[in-house]
Chains A and B, each alone.
Chain A
Amino acid sequence: MINLKINGKSIQAEPGKTILQVAKEHDVHVPTLCYHKDLSPTGNCRMCVVEVKGGRFLQAACVTPIWEGMEIETENEKVMKDRKLTLELMLANHPVDCMICDAAGKCELQDLAYEYQAQIPAWGTKGTRYPVNSDPNPFIRVDMNKCILCRRCVLACEEIQGRDVWGVAKRGFDEIIVAGAGVTMLEARCESCGQCVAFCPTGALSNKMNYGMARAHQVKKVATICSYCGVGCQFDLLVKNNKVIGVSSNPDAPVNGMALCVKGRYAYDYIHHPERLVKPRVRKYLLEGKRKSDIRDSIAEGRKPKVGLSNIESPWDWVEVEWDKALDIVAEKFAETRMKFGADSLGFLTSAKCLNEENYLMNKLARQVVGTNNIDHCARL
């Protein structure tokens, strides 16, 4: 164990840890911006500086390892001033539109500027240097004017997604994050997983599908499980006014952490699609007491595409009915089939998209109520 002092308090810690890690373990707050626990530390924003006794310069806590006898100050005047200056330098190159920025309320730069009461310096550029919404990716909105060059996106893509889409180009004032060799994200082989967006601390990368739809405090987050593949990623559904308006990473997700794929993160808009079935439907002939065998001709006709539910003429047309009606028809028909042809004349296809509880019930319905083992699902397909 290593002995050291943080803000005058003696502490023991395991060797090999960074100042930031030890500070966190002892509930000492050190602000960070480029650092993220899931990514390799790079130490390039200098937001986390602390003073180490005997050192000539302030040290970045996220990349400086501890040593025996180290004495650290995390909140003295020098440190606070330096951090504020760091923020002012970032703000000097940042548009002043927090008011309408999608990230406001969850922007780490905004939070820190507030904490340190940092303002845009009088000499700041304030302007817009780059095209806004500059990439055609349908899911990801890019506005490099808001970029603070923390490189989290670069690391998220490289280390989590293993894709290397983002990189840094040019130097000094012109330094900028680019996709590939300055091409579009998709051309740089982006898989639209949205990892870079999830890790971006500012409004430089945001989601197009819900851009401008809600402030962070206006959404309810509901932790749930992805309904696409068997990996079983967990994420939060973002809900506003009883509508799903987005998906965000849930850092505590057991399988996937912050990671999601394009389907899990962005293919949710089917939930409120206008084609959703919202009322039970039965074929007209069922309401007329007719048998299917009597209307075979109309069925052949009816299979040709027909728009909507208007003009209900053919016995094979759909009619919307109340639940009671539909359920009675189903039960009546199933019972009749069973009586006439036996339990094994019924078949049940349950669903690999539905809940365990629902699959259990389909199995119970087939085996208990009807008495057949004719139950399967699309595991084979």
Chain B
Amino acid sequence: MSNSMDDIANFAEAFFIIGSNTTEQHPVFGTMIRRAVRKRGAKLIVADPRKIDITEIATLHLRHRPGTDIALLNGLMYIILEKGMEDKAFIEERTEGFEEFKQTVMQYPPEKAAEITNVPVEKLYETAEILASCKPTAVLWAMGITQHIVGVRNVMDLANLQMLLGNMGKPGGGVNPLRGQNNVQGACDMGGLPNVYPAYQPVTSEEARDKFAKAWGATTEAKVGLTVTEMMPGILEGKIKSLYILGEDPIMSDPDTKHIRHCLEELDFLVLQEIFPSETSVYADVLLPGVTFAEKTGTFTNTERRVQLVRQAIPTQGDAKPDWWITSEIAKRLMERISDRVRKEAPYAGWGYKNTSEIMAEINTVTTSYGGITHARLEAGERLQWPCPTFDHPGTPILHTKQFTRGKGKFMPIDHVPPAEKPDDDFPMIMSTGRVLYHWHGGQMTRRAKGIMQVYGEALVEVNPDDATTLGLNGKNVVRITSRRGSIEAQAWVTDRVPPGMVYANFHFPEASANELTHASLDPVSKIPEYKVTAVKVEPV
């Protein structure tokens, strides 16, 4: 997120939420938005095919067809330009590429946008009016924007919108992707990505490679590695032979489960480090017991780049060990066996960490944005959001206040592209997937929480009442949902949360996981699969 949650909640005149079920997926932030709307009278525009909970308090709800975000945004920007409501000074001073971008947007008159998105023209005008008159407006999104084959282009188009309106670098404005997992921000920051070292230093940069070669005494070739969505098929191609998986459950969370099963079966060697024998453990050769957050000390980084201290509250259970200890032990033993690689004199060649605070000290030296973040400062109660490059730096709550990372903000001309999988006679409906308030991801934790299971104990698939009638469902009933890849059976929840022609399923329960049906069509840049649009057939059972 470019801004902090509290500054958005306190200063946004309007919220534009697109592809985020905020009150269920980021519940406490969702309540902050509810507060801003109910108490402060901030405007709220929600663009989502589903009538999600937060639409209840929305000024406007745009129910666009799944996978038509770009047409929607371009249509809105067309109106803003048509009426001369853009922020001309901001565009002039802080951006480039405007003319080319404008030409593209001019291809999306409201009538055309309405036709593609199914949002009435008047609603587009009303929305544009609110966006132009409420300064600043904060744009918020989550996986509903990124889990498309055009995910990256969706994000760029949202940045276009915010530059056009001059909402960047201001309290209450900005571009704000809500990061899902507790520490997905930190995992990215720490180099848990195939193309970058910690702090997004490209693996292809000579300078970065040099830096890490010096610090660690060895590093990699200047070649981007494989993403998780490439590693899986890579197994079948014989490229990947061994996997070390830390606390993840691809059988539940990756697209097209049948395919993933097949991939994992073919692996030579799978090491899984977990707290529970997950669905993926069936395929593991070695299972290493890690610990929960209550059993270790270290840091998580939240969606607004805030680094916070996790404190050990109880002893590790049984023989389970903190994950950092396990990884270090593997590293030490592996280094003995690969003796010719690492230059032992390098300052950070070794793995003799006694605690995570020592690891953080190493991170300080190689990760500029975390340069000044120490456990001691956090323990003393300092509140730090990165970038925080030095030990006396106070952290950075808002990014891009004076300029963008790359100098001027660049407008990108973005065109609508339909989703990869289209409905046809055999698979006439569209399924979108996601999580629900009560559960978390593959459900390994929440399915083992008793009270949670009493409130939400089985997978429910949302089906529109019209479709329920056509399909011959009677109230709550079991449906079979079939895609080109697989089939699941689950309870139907007949509700107008979903529009006719669409169903919504989750992946919290192994016996009815939506990922049996999803497909691995990826965004070409981000390699994120298009979870939000799968063509399916629905039948009563």
Contact = CB atoms under 8 A, between A and B. Distances in A.
B529 A374 contact: no
Chief secondary structure at chain B's binding surface: mixed
B334 A370 contact: yes
Contacts of B182: 225-230, 232, 352-353
Nearest to A320: B319
B184 interface: yes
A64 B33 CA distance: 30
B338 interface: yes
A5 interface: no
Interface string A329-343: 111111101101101
Contacts of B255: 381
B189 A356 contact: yes
Contacts of A267: 438, 440, 445-446, 449, 451-452
B413 to A, nearest CB: 25
Contact of A160 (B31, B178, B308, B324): B31
B318 interface: yes
A365 B244 CA distance: 11
Interface string A231-249: 1111001010011100000
Given A326-B288, A363-B197, A369-B338, 8 more contacts: A138-B450, A162-B35, A327-B329, A335-B337, A348-B243, A355-B310, A356-B300, A360-B191
Interface residues of A, number: 116
Interface in B324-357: 324, 326-331, 333-338, 341-342, 349, 353, 356
A233 B28 contact: yes
B381 to A, nearest CB: 8
A361 B331 contact: yes
30 contacts: A161-B31, A193-B31, A220-B313, A225-B302, A225-B310, A231-B303, A237-B313, A242-B314, A243-B314, A259-B28, A263-B27, A263-B438, A263-B452, A266-B451, A270-B448, A281-B287, A318-B287, A330-B330, A331-B334, A346-B244, A352-B184, A355-B298, A356-B363, A357-B359, A365-B244, A368-B212, A371-B221, A377-B192, A380-B227, A381-B228
Interface string B160-193: 0000000000000000001111111111111111
B471 interface: no
Which of A237, A255, A361, A381 counts the most chain B CB atoms within 10 A?
A381
A356 B298 contact: yes
A318 B303 CA distance: 39
A326 B455 contact: no
A345 interface: yes
Nearest to A346: B242
B454 A350 contact: no
Contacts of A350: 187, 190, 192, 246
Given A255-B5, A358-B324, A266 B452 contact: yes
Interface stretch (A12-20, A115-123, A272-280): A272-280
Interface in B503-541: 526-529, 531
B484 interface: no
A55 B260 CA distance: 77
B301 to A, nearest CB: 6
A280 B286 contact: yes
B203 interface: yes
Contacts of B292: 227, 270-271
A374 B194 contact: yes
- Which 10 pairs from chain A and chain B are nearest by CB? A278-B318, A232-B302, A373-B225, A162-B34, A355-B298, A261-B27, A331-B333, A363-B191, A351-B247, A352-B181
A159 B39 contact: yes
A162 B38 contact: yes
A368 B215 CA distance: 10
Interface stretch (B98-106, B114-122, B273-281, B494-502): B273-281
Contact of A270 (B35, B338, B449): B449
A272 B320 CA distance: 12
B241 A229 contact: no
Which of A191, A225, A351, A357 counts the most chain B CB atoms within 10 A?
A357
Contacts of B387: none
A24 interface: no
Interface string B23-43: 001111101001100110000
Nearest to B315: A242
Contacts of A21: none
A214 interface: no
B219 interface: yes
B50 interface: no
A308 B27 CA distance: 37
A99 interface: no
A208 B5 CA distance: 31
Interface string B433-446: 00001101100111
B323 interface: yes
Contacts of A271: 292, 294, 314
A312 to B, nearest CB: 14
B290 to A, nearest CB: 8
Given A334-B242, A369-B331, A369-B338, A359 B183 contact: yes
Contacts of A337: 241-242, 268-269
A360 B241 contact: no
B309 interface: yes
Contacts, number: 474
Contacts of A272: 317
A72 to B, nearest CB: 30
A373 B203 contact: yes
A184 to B, nearest CB: 12
B363 A360 contact: yes
B377 interface: no
B296 interface: yes
Nearest to A365: B331
Given A159-B39, A357-B298, A379-B188, A374 B240 contact: yes
A226 B225 CA distance: 31
B85 interface: no
B231 A376 contact: yes
A85 interface: no
B229 interface: yes
A172 interface: no
Contacts of B527: 380
Given A347-B234, A368-B218, A229 B334 contact: no
A346 B338 CA distance: 14
A43 B224 CA distance: 63
Contact of A377 (B248, B306, B331): B248
A330 B31 contact: no
Interface in A150-203: 159-162, 186, 191-193
Contacts of A286: 285-286
Contacts of A278: 289, 317-320
Contacts of A358: 246, 298, 322-324, 327, 356
Contacts of A97: none
A239 B311 CA distance: 12
B220 interface: yes
Nearest to A293: B268
A100 interface: no
B254 A381 contact: yes
B333 A354 contact: no
Nearest to A209: B451
Contacts of B300: 225, 227, 232, 355-356
B184 A379 contact: yes
Contacts of B178: 230
Contact of B356 (A192, A239, A344, A357): A357
Contacts of B391: none
B417 interface: no
Contacts of A130: none
Contacts of A160: 31, 35
A365 B531 CA distance: 31
Contacts of B216: 364, 367-368
Given A232-B308, A272-B317, A367-B191, A380 B229 contact: yes
